[in-house]
């Protein structure tokens, strides 16, 4: 008999963000202005757990809903109880507030332990089922971190389950396809990527749920080791509004020019228009600066100016060593600086002046992702970024790669900018098993302790990084779009990594730094950083790392792998979408397919087909292809919109696209004001011309 613990989270309803939801001064979200709802993927997780219970024909299995949050988060538990949960546990305590993912996973794992002890009679046959990620944080870190704390296998991105031979087999998404897996041991953590049938509330069930008692625990009840802001390993140091992207809206008169622009915009460097070009390279270590009072690499302009005033005043007073600053000097500085800073601030600054050594030491690492020895393109981008960071920190770039026979990759990794390649080889690493991979990579990191470890924010990286960072007690920031090295001397930080990422569905940007950790870890969004052009003459070292692995170290049994299934993968660089202007299903099939094929061949990248809601309504395409607010939100490099009018609901879903190209026969189509290049003309005419021009390019 299996039991189930479903993790649920209350989140602000970011689909309903209004103009007044953000503080105009600070750009931070005014939480009270947004409705609170249950995280949508958690509703799917709940239905998934219910489905598992159903297919295993096990009426005795209990479903327990668990949440951590302020008292009002009780609503998500009522939601769960009204649908299928048998009981609900609420973790609420002021001391738990302000937690990062580390300090969220930790108390949740301890609460899970207590649930198992108190309500499952210590029966270890249970599944922790959660949504893949929450819409507000978007990190997808908590479930793998919980798996790490519980030493459990983690089955991420599940889309289905079957009950065969008395055990569960899960279908999960992997890059380029899907696989069927089973957990080698229990408990196991399941993260649900998509389960289409969330449960509906019933009248009776809701009334009953509203009368049920919820188990409430505080921090002391679960005895977690790391809670709240105090137990966190990262701190948000700044929240700001994202830069508004402005579309070019250029009219193009012929297909030939359009073909040219299309190829150019695909090949152009994404990092230029993105927000990923933090200039870490302009950072200079304190020991290289012109004088010891030079503090011109602080995080904010104000701090830089404060230190400049301080350093100037010290020079005017003839002070050349920090040790010479006594109370008398301080008074003089304060009077010279006027109202600029208080005594407490000055004391902190003087402490800051004493710091000359970086807060972290070691190399800058990238953990390589590969598929049978073919390196994922995002890794080269990360190496490019790591090179820049390492140069300003005057250290080396290391790449850690684990697999079976991966040594041949060393050359291209070095050519991409790496100095040291750390190779871990084992037959058991041939396929990606998160538990086995995290074991060997964590082991290798803990031997060398690089100061920075970067992972690709890919499906694999977003699962591996949280497990590794949790295992090593390090903070982790997800999905970064820019990195910077800066000092925050007043709080005693020198040469730390500033990690900037979008949050709340891209509505705000947050800059985060690591604390209480031996290494600064982050995953970085693919397509944002800049790869270097390969330099075959570069030299580097390969260093082998041995870790003993046995079958027991793997968490998953892979039953079946299917690549390139008919599933829609919007995680591609080019999407061609059709709207109502396609006129008919036949047109849609014929024109979109031929343009997709042509682009795919010409640009050497997979191209996916999309559709507007109107096109789906008219039955030109299946619902699964729908792009937009109610379909899938996409963010490719290139989005080609054919016969799409540009309704706001559609455009919201493509907002993160780098270049939007539109073709429409209506010269007043709103999309022309929201795209980069457009052609006015009939789809049936323009598309064949475009294909011809592309082939001639």
Contact residues for another protein, defined by CB under 8 A: 15-16, 18-20, 35, 47, 51, 197-208, 210-212, 613-614, 617-618, 623, 630, 645, 647-649, 670
Which tokens sit at 535? 């330099």
Which residues sit opposite 611 in a β-bridge? Answer: 578, 626
With respect to another protein, which residue has the nearer C-beta, 331 or 586?
586
CB 168 within 8 A of CB 52: yes
DSSP 591: I
CB closer to another protein, 218 vs 649: 649
For residue 558, count CB atoms less than 10 angstroms from its CB and return exposed for 0-12, middle for 13-18, buried for 19 or more: middle
Pick from 303, 257, 235, 356: which is nearest to 676 by CA? 257
Comparing CB distances to another protein, the nearer of 501 and 650 is 650
CB of 78 to another protein, least distance (A): 11
Distances, alpha carbon 588 to alpha carbons 353, 517, 616, 623, 692, in Å: 66, 53, 11, 14, 18
Measured from the CB atom, is 244 or 290 closer to another protein?
Answer: 244
Q: In what order do the strands lie in the sheet with 234-240?
A: 234-240, 508-514, 493-503, 482-488
- What DSSP string describes 9-59? -EEE-GGG--GGGB-TTT--B-GGGS-EEE-HHHHHHHHHHHHHHHHTT-T
Q: Which is nearer to another protein, 446 or 583 (CB)?
A: 583
| Smallest gap from residue 303 Cβ to another protein (A) | 34
Q: How far is the CB of 556 from another protein (least distance, A)?
A: 26
Shortest Å distance, C-beta 100 to another protein? 30
From the CB of 612, what's the least distance to another protein, in Å? 11
Cβ at position 89, least distance to another protein in Å: 17
Minimum CB distance to another protein smaller for 207 or for 447: 207
Q: Given the complex with another protein, which of 158 and 442 has the nearer CB atom? A: 158
CA 561, 563, 564: angle at the middle one, nearest 5?
Answer: 155
Q: Which is nearer to another protein, 160 or 176 (CB)?
A: 160
User: Is the Cβ–Cβ distance between 318 and 324 less than 8 Å?
Assistant: no
Residue 96 DSSP one-character state: G
Nearer CB in complex with another protein: 86/221: 86
Q: Which is nearer to another protein, 26 or 281 (CB)?
A: 26
Please state whether 373 falls in left (phi above 0), alpha (psi between -120 and 50) or beta: left
Provide the minimum distance between the beta carbon of 92 and another protein in the complex, in angstroms, as a whole number: 20
| Smallest distance, another protein to C-beta of residue 51, A | 8
Phi then psi for 6, rounded to 5 degrees?
Answer: -105, 125
HEC profile of 286-348: HHHCCCCCCCCCECCHHHHHHHHHHHHHHHHCCCCCHHHCCHHHHHHHHHHHCCCCCHHHHHH
Instruction: Quote the tokens at residue 527.
Output: 């397509």
Question: Among residues 247, 138, 28, 142, which one has the least CA distance to residue 502?
Answer: 138
Supply the minimum distance, in Å, between the C-beta of residue 652 and another protein: 8
| Minimum distance from residue 59 beta carbon to another protein (Å) | 15
Which run of H or of E encompasses 273? helix 270-273
E runs forming strands in 489-598: 493-503, 508-514, 520-524, 541-544, 556-563, 574-578
Cα-only R_g, the chain: 27
Give the residue with the Cβ less far from another protein, 19 or 327. Answer: 19
75 vs 351 by CB, closer to another protein: 75
DSSP 387: H
Q: Which is nearer to another protein, 32 or 533 (CB)?
A: 32
Q: Which tokens belong to 457? A: 């924010």
Residue 284 near residue 392, CB atoms below 8 Å: yes
Q: Minimal distance in Å, beta carbon 622 to another protein? A: 12
Nearer to another protein, 362 or 631 (CB): 631
- Least distance in angstroms from the C-beta of 665 to another protein: 16
- One DSSP character per residue, 466-478 reads HHHHHHTT--EEE
Q: Which residues pair with 609 in a beta bridge?
A: 576
Minimal distance, residue 477 CB to another protein, in Å: 32
CA angle 548, 550, 554 (to 5 degrees): 115
Taking the complex as a whole, how short is the minimal distance between the CB of residue 197 and another protein, in angstroms? 4
């Amino acid at each position: 008999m299996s039991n189930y613990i479903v993790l649920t989270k209350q989140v602000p309803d970011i689909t309903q963000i209004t103009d007044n939801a953000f503080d105009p001064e600070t750009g931070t979200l005014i939480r009270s202005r947004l409705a609170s709802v249950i995280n949508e993927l958690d509703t799917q997780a709940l239905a998934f757990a219910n489905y598992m219970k159903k297919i295993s024909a096990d009426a005795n299995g209990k479903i327990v809903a668990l949440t951590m949050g302020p008292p009002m988060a009780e609503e998500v538990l009522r939601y769960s109880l009204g649908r299928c949960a048998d009981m609900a546990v609420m973790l609420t305590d002021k001391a738990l507030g302000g937690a990062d993912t580390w300090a969220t996973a930790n108390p949740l794992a301890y609460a899970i332990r207590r649930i198992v002890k108190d309500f499952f009679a210590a029966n270890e046959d249970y599944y922790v089922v959660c949504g893949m990620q929450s819409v507000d944080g978007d990190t997808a870190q908590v479930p793998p971190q919980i798996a790490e704390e519980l030493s459990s296998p983690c089955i991420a991105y599940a889309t289905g389950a079957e009950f065969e031979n008395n055990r569960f087999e899960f279908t999960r998404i992997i890059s380029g396809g899907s696989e069927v897996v089973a957990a080698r041991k229990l408990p196991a953590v399941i993260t649900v990527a998509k389960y289409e049938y969330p449960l509906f509330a019933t009248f009776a069930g809701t009334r009953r749920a509203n009368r049920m008692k919820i188990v409430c625990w505080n921090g002391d009840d679960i005895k977690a080791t790391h809670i709240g802001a105090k137990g966190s390993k990262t701190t948000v140091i700044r929240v700001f509004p994202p830069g508004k992207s402005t579309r070019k809206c250029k009219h193009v008169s012929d297909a030939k020019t359009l073909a040219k622009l299309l190829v150019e915009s695909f090949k152009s460097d994404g990092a230029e228009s993105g927000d990923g070009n933090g200039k870490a390279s302009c950072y200079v270590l304190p020991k290289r600066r012109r004088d010891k009072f030079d503090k011109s690499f602080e995080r904010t302009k104000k701090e830089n100016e404060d230190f400049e005033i301080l350093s100037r005043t010290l020079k005017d007073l003839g002070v050349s060593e920090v040790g010479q600053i006594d109370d008398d000097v301080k008074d003089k500085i304060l009077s010279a600086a006027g109202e600029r800073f208080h005594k407490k601030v000055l004391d902190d600054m003087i402490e800051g002046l004493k710091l000359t050594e970086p807060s972290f030491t070691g190399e800058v690492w990238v953990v390589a992702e590969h598929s049978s020895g073919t390196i994922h393109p995002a890794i080269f981008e990360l190496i490019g970024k790591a090179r820049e960071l390492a140069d300003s920190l005057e250290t080396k770039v290391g790449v850690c790669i684990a697999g079976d026979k991966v040594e041949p990759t060393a050359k291209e990794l070095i050519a991409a900018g790496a100095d040291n390649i750390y190779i871990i080889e084992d037959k058991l690493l041939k396929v990606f098993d998160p538990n086995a991979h995290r074991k060997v990579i964590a082991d290798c990191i803990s031997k060398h302790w690089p100061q920075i470890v970067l992972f690709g924010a890919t499906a694999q990286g977003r699962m591996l990084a949280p497990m590794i960072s949790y295992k090593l007690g390090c903070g982790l920031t997800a999905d970064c779009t820019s990195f910077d090295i800066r000092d925050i001397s007043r709080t005693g930080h020198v040469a730390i990594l500033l990690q900037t990422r979008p949050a709340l569905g891209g509505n705000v940007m947050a800059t985060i730094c690591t604390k209480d950790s031996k290494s600064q870890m982050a995953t970085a969004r693919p397509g944002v950083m800049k790869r270097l052009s390969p330099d075959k003459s570069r030299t580097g070292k390969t260093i082998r790392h041995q870790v003993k692995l046995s079958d027991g170290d793997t968490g998953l049994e892979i039953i079946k792998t299917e690549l390139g299934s008919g599933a829609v993968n919007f995680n591609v660089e080019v999407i061609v979408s059709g709207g109502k202007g396609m006129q008919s299903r036949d047109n849609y099939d014929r024109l979109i397919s031929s343009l997709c094929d042509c682009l795919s061949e010409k640009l050497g990248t997979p191209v996916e087909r999309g559709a507007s809601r109107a096109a789906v309504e008219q039955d030109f395409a299946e619902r699964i292809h729908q792009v937009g607010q109610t379909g899938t939100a996409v963010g490719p490099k290139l989005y080609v919109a054919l016969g799409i009018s540009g309704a706001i609901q559609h455009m919201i879903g493509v907002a993160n696209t780098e270049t939007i190209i539109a073709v429409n026969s209506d010269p007043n189509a709103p999309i022309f004001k929201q795209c980069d290049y457009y052609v006015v003309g009939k789809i049936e005419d323009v598309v064949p011309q475009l294909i011809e021009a592309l082939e001639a390019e």
